[in-house]
Amino acid sequence: MVIVLLAMWAYVFDPIVAGYTLPCPWYEFTGLLCPGCGLQRATHALLHGDFRSAFEANPLVFLLLPLTVAVIVTWYVERCFDVPAARFRMPVWVVILLIVVVLLFWVLRNVSA
């Protein structure tokens, strides 16, 4: 239920116009972008079908959003249908690859900026 409410909020309120974006503590402290900077704008754009703006705000949204949905669906299936979560676990190499991709994205977006 909370996820649905958050998605509705992200759909209704444009973070650029409304000024409702949460400040990034990493950016405020260092002046450098973190891997999550732009995810609020990207999520809003995706919910409105604007894939180009979503990519420009934060390309990681196309990787993180499907993973987030998969985690939520896995949790729901496990809790509601009593299916063991072990059937849905990602291999360790996938987790390591995701961490490497996020770290590389973090470094490259600040080097090119």
Q: pLDDT tens track of the chain, all 113 residues? A: 677 787 787 887 888 776 667 788 999 999 999 998 988 889 889 999 999 999 999 999 998 888 888 888 888 888 888 777 666 677 899 889 999 999 999 999 999 76
> What local confidence, expressed as pLDDT, does residue 108 receive?
93
Decide: 24 and 41 in contact? Cβ < 8 Å.
no
> Angle at Cα 22 formed by Cα 18 and Cα 24, nearest 5°?
135
For the chain, the distance separating the N- and C-terminal CA atoms, rounded to the nearest angstrom, is 38
Domain count, the chain: 1
> What local confidence, expressed as pLDDT, does residue 85 receive?
65
Domain that holds residue 79: 2-111
> What local confidence, expressed as pLDDT, does residue 56 receive?
93
Q: Classify the C-alpha dihedral 6-10-13-16 as positive or negative.
A: positive
Alpha-carbon span 65 to 62, nearest angstrom = 6
